Amino acid sequence: MTRIETALQTASQRLQGHSDTPRLDAELLLAEALGQDRTYLRTWPEQALTAAQAADFARLVERRLAGEPVAYLLGRRGFWTFELAVTPDTLIPRPETELLVEQALARIPADAAWSIADLGTGSGAIALAIASERPACTVHATDRSAAALAVARRNADALGIGNVRFHQGSWFEALPEGIAWAMLVSNPPYVPDAAPHLEARGVRFEPRQALAAGADGLDDLRHLIETAPSRLAPGGWLLLEHGWDQGEAVTRLLAGHGYTDIRDERDLAGHPRLAIGRRPGP
């Protein structure tokens, strides 16, 4: 018979060296196996696990030891103000991507009724965050992956966010014609094809097509920057997340394509992370 606190101690010891946060992982996985939250574990450290709970927990810990990200084991991840369903068909939303949401909201007036598109939405993180904060806007979310789009739709339904439209397809091809977009945003793939990062712990479980983008990682960013001016309204904004070492290259591309108001914002870790430009106004 194993008690909650003992199970946690054993598991976090085993997870040392396999995770940067062994105790937290153990707590999240045990709470999942028990169908409870982490507070419950602190409240009832002496409670014995049933055989079924112990078996469920053991399975989750084994998968974590094999490198699977906690977000995939739980099937969800916190982003912005909500919990999103995530599956191996979607990238796991990263905290630094909240910078894109913040900078987008800083440019959208509270009562604006803009048409906005999130290209390559994955779990829907960016689109849903913007849509929830700007209810008068319509946010169009695209993805090439039908499976990812299904997850994004499920998230919109679960959160009751109605001002989002979903379109399957590659980048601009997925967007409906005849809309002058006030803002286009994307967290595209931007990791170089040969980067060791793609094989890193956790990352190797994520969809490669959401991460890798050519020899220099700039293939999709280049396409987005080249094509966006033909779809943006005059004065419309483009916001693009990029790699920590790509800020100069991306702002140079924006300048080369005639964007104005170009800037690059740093994430909480101090890395250049978000390039912003504007189609020249009327």
User: Does 266 engage in binding with ligand GLN (CB under 6 A)?
Assistant: no
Binding flag, residue 271, ligand GLN (CB under 6 A): no
By CB under 6 A, the count of residues binding ligand GLN is 8
Q: How far is the CB of 71 from ligand GLN (least distance, A)?
A: 12
> What mask of x and - would describe binding to ligand GLN in positions 209 to 238, judged by CB under 6 A?
--x---------------------------
Residue number, 188 or 272, with CB nearest to ligand GLN: 188
Nearer to ligand GLN, 94 or 107 (CB): 94
Query: Which CB atom, from 4 or from 125, has the smaller least distance to ligand GLN?
Result: 125
Should residue 94 be labelled a site residue for ligand GLN when binding is judged by CB under 6 A? yes
Q: Which stretch binds ligand GLN (CB under 6 A): 63-71, 151-159, 184-192, 255-263?
A: 184-192
Q: Phi and psi of 164, rounded to 5°?
A: -125, 135
Looking at the Cβ atoms of 160 and 196, the one nearer to ligand GLN is: 196
| Residue selected from 181, 190, 237, 259 as contacting ligand GLN according to rule CB under 6 A | 190
Q: What is the closest distance, in whole angstroms, from the C-beta atom of residue 55 to ligand GLN in the complex?
A: 32
Residue from 22, 93, 189, 247 touching ligand GLN (CB under 6 A): that is 189
How many Cβ atoms from other residues are within 10 Å of residue 126's Cβ? Answer: 29
State which residue, 46 or 199, has the beta carbon closest to ligand GLN: 199
The answer to whether 117 contacts ligand GLN (rule: CB under 6 A) is no
Rg of the chain on CA atoms, in Å: 21
Q: Which string of DSSP letters, residue by residue, matches the chain?
A: --BHHHHHHHHHHHHBTTBS-HHHHHHHHHHHHHTS-HHHHHH-TTPBPPHHHHHHHHHHHHHHHTT--HHHHHTEEEETTEEEE--TTSPPPPGGGHHHHHHHHTTS-TT---EEEEES-TTTHHHHHHHHH-TTSEEEEEES-HHHHHHHHHHHHHHT--SEEEEESSGGGGSPTT--EEEEEE----B-TT-GGGGSTTGGGS-GGGTB-STTS-HHHHHHHHHGGGTEEEEEEEEEE--TT-HHHHHHHHHHTT-EEEEEEE-TTS-EEEEEEE----
Q: Per CB under 6 A, does 186 bind ligand GLN?
A: no
Between 56 and 220, CB nearer to ligand GLN: 220
Contact set with ligand GLN (CB under 6 A): 94, 187-191, 203, 211
